[in-house]
Amino acid sequence: MHPLTDFLESLFDDGAVTFSDRPVAIPDDRRAARDLLDRVFAAQRLSVAGPPVAFDADTALAAAEFVRWACWFVVNRDEPAAEVERMLTVPPEPQTAGQHLSADLTFRYLAQVHRRARALSPDDPLTVRLEETLRRFPFSGVLADVAVGPTTGLAFDNHPGLQLLYAERFAKHARTAWRPGGRTGEYVELVGTGPV
């Protein structure tokens, strides 16, 4: 039985998730989930220009668990606020290019989860926690409709491929508070955006 791995396969293959029961943590499942995330990462990093980015298994697994719980809480509105906050532990602020890209494997889906949570209740603990997380992980957070800017810098460990990908994402989701300066800002100018 590999519930986290099954969740991730459905997310990656179909862009959809379903639950028959509340998520459970199974120690052996973490190894299978890690192997799946490693394979998906290996394919994803091929689309990133510049030096190879190293997979960060701890970050990828923490992000995957976070997304699974976020999806659960958006469809199961009976959970108490304290439980939402307890289970949605925000991973540490990303420091390396590998941490940004490893989290993005699943965090890129948080924009949709956030949209649903905010539609149900903008001040709900789930919505607030999702916004905190998206602001801490701006490489993924730029995809979401969060007005307040990132809490983490936008240099992405000075990795040119991540900076370029951020600029491309920003061009599609431009918001003043998310506009980068420095080298990442130069990529935004290169990619071009409408007025912001």
Q: Provide the pLDDT for residue 114.
A: 97
Q: What is the pLDDT of residues 150-166, one digit of tens each?
A: 999 999 999 999 999 99
Q: What is the pLDDT of residues 77-130, one digit of tens each?
A: 888 999 999 999 888 999 999 999 999 999 999 999 999 999 999 999 999 999
Residue 24 has pLDDT above 90, yes or no: no
Boundaries of every domain in the chain: 3-153
Helix, strand, coil shares of the chain, percent, nearest 5, are 65, 0, 35
